[in-house]
C-alpha cells in the first residue's frame, strides 16, 4: 500500500495504461510541459513526448472533434478539460458525435474516449468555473458518466474508463485533488457501472457521490452517536445509474435520502426519484428527501457560495426528519 493524493492516483492510472498500450494518448490545455492544471499529467510529457501528451490550443470544440476522430480510427484518447465547464464549448461534439457515432454508424465505429477534468463548486472560483455539469450530460444517449470520490476509486475507475470502448465522462471534484489515502501497489480495476456500499445500515439509505460523500460521512459520524444506523451508497456511476444496488438497499431500509451537489432541477437525484417512483414506489415507507444545490449560478462571494451547497448539518437534520 502507498499513500497518495487523488491527483497522483489519477496520474498513476494514466501512466500505467499508457505504458501498456501505445494507442492511448492525452490531449488538452496545459497537459504537456506544464503537467496539467492540477498536476494529473505531471512528468508524463517527459516520458511519452509531444505526440502522446499533446498540448492543444484553447479551442475546445476543435480538439474534442480531433479526439473523437482519432477514437474512430483506433486510438484511445483521454481529453482533459482544464475545467469541465470549458467543455460546454465542445457540447456539440460530445452530444452529436461522441455519444451517437457508434449507433449511427451501425456499430462500425467504436468511440473509446475518456473526457475528464475538474468540476463542481470550488472555493470562490466564480460561476463559470464552479458548474455542476452532471445534469447537462446525463440525457445524452451513448455516454457513460462516472464520478470518483477517493484516491482508491479514482485510480481504479480511470483505468477501467480508459479500457472501455464507449465515451466516458469522468467527473473529478476540484476540492478533492488533495485528498490523501493508501491504495494498493498492485494493479486493480473498478467497474464503471456499480455503486459502492460505503457503510452498511438498517434505518435508512443515503445516496451520494463525489465531494458530497465526505459531507455525508461527517454527518453519519454524528448520527451514529445519536443511535441511528444509516446505510451509505456512493453512486459512482451516474449514467447508467446502478438502480439494482439502490433497490437492494431500499428493500432493507425502506427510506431514502439523496445528497448531491448537482442542481435540483433535472439533476441526478431527480432521475433516481423518477426511476424509484416508476417501479419501486412500494418499497418506500416515507417520502424521499432530496438535498441538492441551489438552482442558481454559483456566487463568487464566499458566504453566498457556501449557502448554495449542502453541508453536514443539513444532512443530519434531514435524516432525523426521515426516521420520525
306, 209 Cβ separation under 8 angstroms: no
Say if residue 197 is exposed, middle or buried (CB neighbours under 10 Å; 0-12, 13-18, 19+).
middle
Residues 6 or more apart whose CB falls under 8 angstroms from that of 195 comprise 233, 234, 235, 236, 237, 242, 245, 246
* CA separation for the pair 42, 24 (Å, rounded): 17
The question of whether 60 is a catalytic residue gets the answer yes
Q: Which parts of 124-277 are beta strand (E)? A: 144-147, 168-173, 180-183, 196-199, 204-208, 230-234, 237-239, 256-263
The question of whether 45 is a catalytic residue gets the answer no
17, 45, 129, 260: the catalytic one is: 129
Residues 6 or more apart whose CB falls under 8 angstroms from that of 263 comprise 132, 135, 292, 293, 294, 295
Containing 5, the helix (H) or strand (E) segment is: strand 2-5
Facing residues of 229 across strands? Answer: none
Pairing of strands 114-119, 144-147: unpaired
If one counts every other C-beta atom within 10 angstroms of the C-beta of residue 52, the result is 18
Give the length of the chain. 324
17, 29, 60, 271: the catalytic one is: 60
Containing 114, the helix (H) or strand (E) segment is: strand 114-119
Write out the catalytic residue numbers: 60, 129
Amino acid at each position: 500500500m502507498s499513500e497518495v493524493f487523488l491527483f497522483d492516483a489519477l496520474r498513476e492510472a494514466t501512466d500505467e495504461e499508457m505504458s501498456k498500450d501505445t494507442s492511448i494518448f492525452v490531449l488538452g490545455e496545459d497537459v504537456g510541459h506544464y503537467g496539467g492544471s492540477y498536476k494529473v499529467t505531471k512528468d508524463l510529457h517527459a516520458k511519452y513526448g509531444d505526440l502522446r501528451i499533446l498540448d492543444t490550443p484553447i479551442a475546445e470544440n476543435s480538439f474534442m472533434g480531433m479526439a473523437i476522430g482519432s477514437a474512430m480510427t483506433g486510438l484511445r484518447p483521454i481529453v482533459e478539460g482544464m475545467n469541465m465547464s470549458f467543455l460546454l464549448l465542445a457540447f456539440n461534439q460530445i452530444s452529436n458525435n461522441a455519444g451517437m457515432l457508434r449507433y449511427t454508424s451501425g456499430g462500425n465505429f467504436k468511440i473509446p474516449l475518456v473526457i475528464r477534468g475538474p468540476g463542481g463548486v470550488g472555493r470562490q472560483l466564480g460561476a463559470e468555473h464552479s458548474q455542476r455539469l452532471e445534469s447537462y450530460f446525463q440525457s445524452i444517449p451513448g455516454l457513460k458518466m462516472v464520478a470518483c470520490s477517493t484516491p482508491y476509486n479514482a485510480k481504479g475507475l480511470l483505468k477501467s474508463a480508459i479500457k472501455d470502448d464507449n465515451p466516458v465522462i469522468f467527473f473529478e471534484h476540484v476540492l478533492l485533488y488533495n485528498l490523501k489515502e493508501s491504495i494498493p501497489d498492485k494493479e486493480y480495476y473498478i467497474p464503471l457501472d456499480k455503486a459502492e456500499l460505503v457503510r452498511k445500515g438498517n434505518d435508512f439509505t443515503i445516496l451520494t457521490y463525489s465531494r458530497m460523500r465526505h459531507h455525508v460521512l461527517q454527518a453519519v459520524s454524528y448520527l451514529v452517536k445519536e443511535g441511528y444506523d444509516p446505510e451509505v451508497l456512493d453512486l459512482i456511476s451516474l449514467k447508467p445509474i446502478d438502480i439494482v444496488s439502490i433497490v437492494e438497499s431500499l428493500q432493507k431500509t425502506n427510506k431514502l435520502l439523496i445528497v448531491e451537489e448537482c442542481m435540483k432541477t433535472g439533476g441526478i437525484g431527480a432521475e433516481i426519484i423518477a426511476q424509484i417512483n416508476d417501479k419501486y414506489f412500494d418499497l418506500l415507507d416515507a417520502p424521499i428527501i432530496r438535498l441538492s444545490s441551489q438552482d442558481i449560478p454559483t456566487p463568487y462571494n464566499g458566504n453566498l457560495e457556501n449557502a448554495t451547497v449542502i453541508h453536514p448539518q443539513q444532512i443530519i437534520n434531514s435524516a432525523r426528519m426521515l426516521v420520525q
